Amino acid sequence: LHIPGSTLQNLLPLENGKERSDLISDDLIQRVLQDVTLWDHIEAKGGLEVSFQDMHFSAGQKQLLSIARAILHQIEFKTNIILMDEVTSNLDNDAREAVLSTMNIAFRGCTRIEISHNVRDTMECDVILTLSNGWLIRTDIVDQVDELVEKQFPGSTTASPSSNPKAASSET
């Protein structure tokens, strides 16, 4: 979702024309943008009040902005269910790792439904549902995730997923 207006209006679209929640301070916004590796770009282009269009965000940066928006939304509205579709598809490996780490902290305690073609993105999930042509063809639980990664990426070493309550969906 990208709306006409400032970068700040795109981060907090439900706040347009309303007083901002006391939970969302300028410092918090800056910290979240730093966590998703976007703050330096936004600051270099003139800050949050600069129009979204004038930021000239890449596809990956737009994805990072959407993640920052989701984090701020969760903080303000205490959202317990997070739906993410190909959340790291346009990110390089460094940005992907930083964002996954940030999301694991920001969405701790939330139910996360993640749609991903990359099993590495589901390492923190408790359950993986594999779909093919719209049909559920496999259900894997945490203990089986390392085996899935090894099949997709032979020779890779993986960390065990945490026991946070999350779910993932992977379409093949």
51-89 confidence digits (pLDDT tens): 999 999 999 999 999 999 999 999 989 999 999 999 888
Calculate the average pLDDT of the chain. Answer: 82
Q: What's the pLDDT at 10?
A: 92
Judged by DSSP in three states, 14 sits in: helix
Average pLDDT over residues 15-40: 86
β-bridge pairing 81-85 and 135-141: unpaired
β-bridge pairing 135-141 and 127-132: antiparallel
What pTM was computed for the model?
Answer: 0.77
Q: What's the pLDDT at 167?
A: 42
More confident site: 49 or 98: 49
Task: Return the axis-axis angle of helices 26-35 and 59-77, rounded to nearest 10°.
Answer: 130
